[in-house]
């Protein structure tokens, strides 16, 4: 493990070894550990507002670049991006930072990683927070077959469209900055596209996903400098590593088959955006959370909010997370610690 260099705003950058390379982690604060897992196609920067606010509330906060993303290594074999490898990386972060246990919070593709880490490693994950994507117990039909049926004959559902190596990569490579900006706009609350067949999640035959991105300025929560940082990260690693989560859907389904129907028993919280397509598609799973996650404290849909919940509504997310974290057994921080949301 390399020593962390000095960092602005109290942030510390570390590199932790894994069996397939290195894992880049940004951390801040001291106290009980909270690990934050970003979504697609992002990096640790997705949590830039929460790092400071949770640290100010008395926690050590760690936001890794997921395996294959940002400054973390991209494995040569797509199978090394499977869910069980991602869970191993969560354990690497916890133990690498000198802790035995942690609270793990995930957004978008990070949410299933957080949930699966809680399922497979309850000795390490003492509580779990899910943003955007609710827990859905393992099992059911083979994912690629199910997603193919969602798309139908005239268009591919986005998960199916991501499956073919090179197709999404070529779309992004045409204009990486424009692609990231358009994808952000398309899932933002005020400018979100339809979750139905006319939205960006369904790609007609021969078309590109970017053809369906809405035009306009950057979302209010995404600065030019923040976008520049993500573009720089993408130039370093490419998009294939991030796409690996989708390309392991069937491997994950097979790996987790022994846990079909399993409930999560740790304390938990769910936060989603009312206008997020995922909360529309998975409304039944959200309704079932009290049954499949018996330790659920609260389930909140933020009105007028899109997919990027912790960036669109940082104050609301900070408050919900800090209130929940402070109520956890052995949480540790002083009840009167300040909560802020630095930009």
Instruction: Give 12's strand partners.
Output: 27
The residue behind tokens 């919940």 is: 309
Both tokens assigned to 132? 């955007």
Is position 307 annotated as part of the catalytic site?
A: yes
CB 70 within 8 A of CB 233: yes
Contact partners, residue 37, CB within 8 Å, separation at least 6: 63, 64, 66, 90, 104, 105, 106, 107, 110, 111, 113, 114
CA distance 309 to 273: 6
From the candidates 108, 156, 233, 318, which is the catalytic residue?
Answer: 108
Report the DSSP beta bridge partners of residue 127. 103
Name which of 148, 202, 187 is nearest 277 in CA terms.
Answer: 187
Query: How far apart are alpha carbons 275 and 103 in whole angstroms?
Result: 27
Cα gap 115→107, rounded to integer Å: 11
108 in active site: yes
Which of 24, 107, 192, 307 is the catalytic position?
A: 307
- Cα-based distances in Å from 337 to 39, 41, 60, 185, 341: 29, 33, 14, 35, 13
> Could you tell me which of 161, 125, 159 has the C-alpha nearest to residue 37?
125
Active site (catalytic) residues: 108, 307
């Amino acid at each position: 493990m390399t020593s962390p260099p000095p960092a602005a705003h109290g942030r510390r950058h570390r590199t932790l070894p894994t069996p397939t390379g290195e894992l880049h982690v940004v951390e801040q604060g001291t106290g009980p550990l909270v690990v934050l897992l970003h979504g697609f196609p992002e990096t640790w920067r997705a949590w830039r507002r929460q790092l400071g606010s949770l640290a100010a509330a008395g926690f050590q906060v760690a936001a890794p670049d997921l395996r294959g993303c940002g400054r973390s290594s991209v494995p040569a074999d797509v199978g090394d991006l499977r869910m069980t490898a991602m869970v191993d990386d969560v354990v690497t972060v916890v133990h690498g930072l000198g802790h035995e246990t942690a609270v793990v919070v995930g957004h978008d593709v990070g949410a299933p990683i957080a949930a699966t880490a809680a399922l497979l490693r309850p000795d390490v994950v003492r509580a779990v927070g899910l943003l955007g994507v609710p827990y859905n117990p393992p099992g059911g039909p083979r994912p690629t077959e199910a997603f193919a049926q969602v798309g139908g004959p005239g268009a591919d559902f986005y998960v199916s469209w991501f499956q073919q190596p090179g197709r999404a990569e070529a779309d992004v490579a045409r204009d990486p900055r424009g692609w990231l900006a358009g994808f952000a706009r398309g899932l933002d609350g005020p400018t979100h596209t339809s979750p139905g067949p006319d939205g960006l999640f369904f790609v007609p035959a021969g078309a590109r996903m970017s053809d369906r991105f809405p035009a306009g300025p950057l979302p209010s929560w995404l600065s030019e400098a923040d976008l520049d940082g993500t573009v720089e990260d993408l130039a370093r690693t490419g998009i294939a590593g991030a796409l690996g989560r989708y390309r392991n859907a069937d491997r994950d389904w097979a790996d987790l088959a022994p846990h079909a129907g399993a409930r999560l028993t740790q304390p938990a919280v769910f936060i989603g955006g009312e206008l997020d397509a995922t909360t529309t598609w998975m409304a039944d799973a959200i309704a079932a959370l009290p049954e499949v996650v018996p330790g659920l404290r609260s389930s909140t849909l933020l009105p007028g909010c899109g997919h990027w919940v912790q960036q669109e509504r940082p104050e609301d997310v900070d408050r919900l997370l800090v209130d929940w974290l402070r109520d956890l057994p052995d949480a540790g921080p002083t009840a009167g610690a300040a909560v802020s949301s630095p930009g």
